[in-house]
């Protein structure tokens, strides 16, 4: 008959770090950061807290691991896009879609960049984009600035898009994206023409814009500035 120590070791082996992180991502997607607790996690994994702590020291480490797992999947190289510019656009869209699919990700990315840039997430993103920046013949002394500009635009614009979607749902779950944009455009069109001539002029464009196309248009603008310089 196996000893208690042997049984505990088998349970620990079965409950891998990858499985814990996968369950954490699922909880974050459905319940947000506040819903990710070790108590709920132990219930979902049908295990004890000790088995989880064997792999993950605390919630902060678990959030970092979940963030890294989602980012790694988003940055996983796919079929070659050809030119460095096309590769950057593909990477940007991968991050855009990941942030859109995981509402908690934008906040965690911001925290990772500001609090622990030496962790795995920041170098992973910088490396993936920076290699392509170097391939664009950007001078070596400008690599950090150029890559930073791209990364900040990509993450910031993607985060704002996710926030817009979340905000629209909170205002009225029955209103779809088209209805929300139409209401916003009408409000812009009714602004004072002397104080807001530009905002009124672009209201119709805002009403019909495509989020992904607009996002990629911004990436192209940053790239145009980088390559021109």
Residue 11, classified by CB atoms within 10 Å of its CB into exposed (0-12), middle (13-18) or buried (19+), is middle
Mean pLDDT, range 72-94, rounded to an integer: 89
Q: How far apart are CA 181 and CA 161, in angstroms?
A: 13
Give 41's contacts (C-beta < 8 A, 6+ positions apart). 20, 23, 24, 27, 52
What does the DSSP assignment read for 21-85? HHHHHHHHHHHHHHH--HHHHHHHHTS-HHHHHTT--SHHHHHHHHHHHHHHHHH---S--SSHH
The answer to whether residues 47 and 6 touch, using CB atoms and an 8 Å cutoff, is no
Kindly report the average pLDDT of the chain as a whole number.
89
Encode pLDDT of 110-149 as tens digits.
999 999 899 999 999 999 999 999 999 999 999 999 999 9
Residue 12, classified by CB atoms within 10 Å of its CB into exposed (0-12), middle (13-18) or buried (19+), is middle
Give 138's contacts (C-beta < 8 A, 6+ positions apart). 146, 226, 227
> Which of the four pLDDT bands, split at 50, 70 and 90, describes residue 171?
low
Q: How far apart are CA 151 and CA 188, in angstroms?
A: 30
> For residue 9, is pLDDT > 70?
no
> For residue 214, is pLDDT > 90?
yes
Cα dihedral 162, 166, 171, 177 sign: positive
* pLDDT for residue 126: 97
């Amino acid at each position: 008959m196996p000893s208690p120590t042997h049984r505990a070791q088998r349970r620990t082996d079965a409950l891998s770090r990858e499985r814990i992180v996968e369950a954490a991502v699922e909880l974050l997607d459905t319940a947000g950061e506040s819903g990710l607790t070790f108590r709920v996690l132990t219930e979902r994994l049908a295990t004890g807290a000790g088995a989880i702590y064997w792999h993950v020291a605390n919630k902060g480490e678990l959030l970092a691991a979940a963030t890294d797992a989602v980012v790694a999947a988003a940055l996983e190289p796919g079929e070659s896009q050809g030119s460095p510019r096309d590769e950057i656009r593909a990477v940007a869209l991968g991050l855009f879609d990941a942030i859109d699919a995981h509402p908690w990700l934008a906040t965690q990315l911001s925290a990772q960049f500001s609090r622990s840039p030496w962790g795995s997430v920041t170098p992973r993103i910088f490396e993936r984009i920076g290699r392509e920046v170097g391939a664009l013949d950007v001078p070596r002394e400008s690599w950090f600035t150029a890559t930073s500009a791209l990364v900040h635009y990509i993450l910031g614009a993607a985060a704002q898009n996710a926030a817009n979607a979340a905000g629209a749902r909170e205002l009225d779950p029955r209103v779809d994206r088209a209805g929300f944009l139409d209401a916003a455009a009408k409000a812009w069109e009714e602004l004072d023409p002397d104080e807001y001539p530009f905002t009124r002029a672009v209201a119709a464009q805002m009403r019909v814009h495509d989020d992904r196309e607009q996002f990629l248009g911004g990436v192209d603008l940053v790239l145009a500035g980088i390559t021109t310089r």
